[in-house]
Amino acid sequence: MIKKLPENVIRIISSGQIASSPTAVLKELIENSLDAKAKKIKIVIKNATNFSVSDDGTGIPFKELPLTVERFTTSKIENLNDISKLKTYGFRGEALYAIASMSKLTIKSRYEKEKIGGQLKVCENTIIEYKPIPFSQGTKVLVEDLFFNTPVRRKSISKREKSNMLSSIKTLALANPDVTFQINEKILPATSIHERIKQITGLSHMCEIKEDKFHIFFKKREEDERKKINLIFVNRRPVEIPEIKRLMEELNIGSYILFLNLPPEEIDVNVTPLKDRVLIKNGEILNKIKTKLKPEVTLPSVMFVKEERAEYKTEKIKILGTDGTIIIGYDSEYYYFFDQHLIHERVNYEELIKRLKAGKIPTLKLSQILKFPYSKELENKLKSAGIEFFTEGKEITVTAIPEILTVNDIIEIVKGKTPESIASIACKKAIKSGYFPVDTSQVEELFEKYLQCEEREVCPHGRPIYTKIKRKKILKNLGR
C-alpha cells in the first residue's frame, strides 16, 4: 500500500544529501559565514557531533531568525534569474533546515543594523526558544548532538571525520585568504594567497601562472603520493571537474591548486545539492590552461618555493649595483630590481629571530603575572621566541621575556602572530632608502645574506622585496 511518509521522516530523508556527514554540515556553516561577508571565522570542534562556527559577518535580523531554519528560505536569491548571477556559496536555503532536523541547533546573532541580538534554539525543526539577547555583531551557530535521531548515520561517522572536517576548513581557507580562520586555538591570520598556501600546505615553493580567468599554483612532480594536493575552485567554490583532473594527469602535474574565475553566466552550479559539481559552459578555458601548462612552454618560476626558484640556486643573480634605493641585478632570463631597504630589513629580521631562538638576547624579568592555558603548541612557541616560563597544572606562567619584546608581543605570539616589535626593530636597523653604500662589495655582502634567508619574497611587513622584467621583453622593446 502506498502511504504518505510521516513529516519527520520526509524531513530527514530529504535532508540526507546536504547534512550527510559532520564534515558536510560544518562546510555549510562556514560557507554561510563567508556569504555573510565575515572577515573572521572561529570554528570550535569539540568532537564530530558537537561544534560551532562564529563569525563577524552581517548577522541576521531578529525578525528573520526563525526563517533561517525553514526549508527553502534564503536571503541570497529571489528568482531563477539570480541563480545565473550567483556570487554566494549558498542559495538553496536548505542547509540550516536540514541541520535543525537532526541536531540541537542554537543560533545567536546580531544584525549589523540592530542594537540587540537574538537567540534561537531548535530541535528536530521545533523552535524551543526565541528571544532577544545582547550579542556582538555577527553570528554563532552551535550544533549539538548531531544525528542524535538518526542512529545509522551517527554510527557511520568516519573514524577520520575530524581530519575530514579539518581538511574541509582548510580548503575553504585556501579560497578565502583575506579571511582570518581560527580552528580551536590555531589561528590562520588573513593574508595573501601565497602566504595562505604556505600556511596550509606547508609548501614554500610552487610554480605560478596568473591569467585573466585562472590562477594556478602547481608542482610538476610529486614523488610522495600522500603530499599530493589536487584542488580546483570555481569562483572560490571547491569543486570537482573530471576534465581538468584528466588534463593535469596528462600533463604530468603532481600537485595543483587551480582557481578559476569565471563570469557566473559561464557556469552552472545548480547540478547537485552539494554544489560540488560545476558545469563549465564554455570549454575554451580548458584549452587555454592546456596551452599555458604545456611542458615545452618555459614556466615562470619565481615563486615562494625554493626548488622552483632554481634561478637562485643554479644560476646566481649578478649584481650590477645600487642607486641607494634599488639594487639592480640580472641573470640570463630576467633583470631584477630589489628594494635595498627591504632586503636589509629581511636580513635583520631573520637574524633577530635566529638569535631569539638561540636564547642569545638578554631577558627581562616580568613584574606582572602573565598566565595562559597550557598547550604543547604554546609551550613550543614560547620556547622558540626565547621566552622564559614555568608550567604548573594546566597553566603556563611567563616569568621573563627577551628585552626586544613587549608584553603585547607575547599576546600576539600566543595568538599565533609574529611579534610586530621584531619587524619594526628589523626595519629601524635597516639602511634607509637614499643611503649609497661606499662600494659594491657591501651590496654584494648584503645580497649574499639575503640569499640565505628563508623567506625572500616579502619583507616582515608583507611588502614585496623585488620585481623583475624579462630580458626578452627589454630586447623586444629595443627592437631586437
Ligand X SMILES: Nc1ncnc2c1ncn2[C@@H]1O[C@H](COP(=O)(O)OP(=O)(O)O)[C@@H](O)[C@H]1O
93 forms part of the interface with ligand X (CB under 6 A): yes
Q: Cα 180 to the chain's mean position, in Å?
A: 7
DSSP at 240: B
CA distance 188 to 208: 22
106 forms part of the interface with ligand X (CB under 6 A): no
The distance of closest approach from Cβ of residue 98 to ligand X in the complex, given in angstroms and rounded to an integer, is 8
The distance of closest approach from Cβ of residue 68 to Mg ion in the complex, given in angstroms and rounded to an integer, is 9
Q: Which residue is nearest to ligand X (CB)?
A: 90
Q: Which residues lie below 8 Å from residue 136, measured CB to CB, with a gap of 6+?
A: 56, 110, 117
Question: From ligand X, Mg ion, none, which one binds at residue 139 (CB under 5 to 8 Å depending on kind)?
Answer: ligand X
Cβ proximity to Mg ion, 32 vs 340, nearer residue: 32
Cβ proximity to ligand X, 58 vs 204, nearer residue: 58
Cβ proximity of 355 and 366 under 8 Å: no
Question: From ligand X, Mg ion, none, which one binds at residue 33 (CB under 5 to 8 Å depending on kind)?
Answer: ligand X
- Nearest in space to 17 (alpha carbons), one of 28, 6, 4: 28
The distance of closest approach from Cβ of residue 141 to ligand X in the complex, given in angstroms and rounded to an integer, is 6
Cβ proximity to ligand X, 74 vs 204, nearer residue: 74
Reduced to 3 states (helix: H, G, I; strand: E, B; else coil), residue 370 is strand
Query: Interface with Mg ion by CB under 5 A: which range of 89-97, 160-168, 186-194, 256-264?
Result: 89-97
CA distance 17 to 2: 24
58 forms part of the interface with ligand X (CB under 6 A): yes
Cβ proximity to Mg ion, 26 vs 253, nearer residue: 26
Q: Site residues for Mg ion, window 95-114 (CB under 5 A)?
A: 95
Cα end-to-end span (Å), the chain: 85
Cβ proximity to ligand X, 63 vs 357, nearer residue: 63
In the list 76, 154, 355, 461, the residue contacting ligand X (rule: CB under 6 A) is: 76
CA distance 434 to 325: 5
- Nearest in space to 307 (alpha carbons), one of 360, 255, 381: 255
90 forms part of the interface with Mg ion (CB under 5 A): yes
Write out 205-219 in H/E/C secondary structure.
CCEEEECCCEEEEEE
The distance of closest approach from Cβ of residue 368 to ligand X in the complex, given in angstroms and rounded to an integer, is 38
In the list 36, 317, 385, 459, the residue contacting ligand X (rule: CB under 6 A) is: 36
28 forms part of the interface with ligand X (CB under 6 A): yes
Q: Which residue is nearest to Mg ion (CB)?
A: 90
**DSSP-assigned letters across all residues of 307-344:** TT-HHHHTSPPEEEEE-SSEEEEE-SSEEEEEEHHHHH
The distance of closest approach from Cβ of residue 139 to ligand X in the complex, given in angstroms and rounded to an integer, is 4
Q: Site residues for ligand X, window 109-168 (CB under 6 A)?
A: 139
Query: Interface with ligand X by CB under 6 A: which range of 88-96, 171-179, 220-228, 340-348?
Result: 88-96
26 forms part of the interface with Mg ion (CB under 5 A): no
In the list 33, 49, 52, 199, the residue contacting ligand X (rule: CB under 6 A) is: 33
Handedness of CA 236, 242, 243, 244 (dihedral sign): positive
How buried is 23 (Cβ within 10 angstroms: 0-12 exposed, 13-18 middle, 19+ buried)? buried
Q: Cα 251 to the chain's mean position, in Å?
A: 27
Cβ proximity to ligand X, 65 vs 427, nearer residue: 65
Determine how many CB atoms are found less than 10 A away from the CB of residue 430.
21
CA distance 379 to 432: 37
Cβ proximity to ligand X, 59 vs 254, nearer residue: 59
The distance of closest approach from Cβ of residue 68 to ligand X in the complex, given in angstroms and rounded to an integer, is 4
Q: What are phi and psi of 88, to 5 degrees?
A: -100, 165
In the list 15, 21, 23, 32, the residue contacting Mg ion (rule: CB under 5 A) is: 32
32 forms part of the interface with ligand X (CB under 6 A): yes
Q: What is the contact surface with Mg ion in residues (CB under 5 A)?
A: 32, 90, 95
Q: What is the contact surface with ligand X in residues (CB under 6 A)?
A: 28, 32-33, 35-36, 55, 57-60, 68, 74-76, 90-97, 139
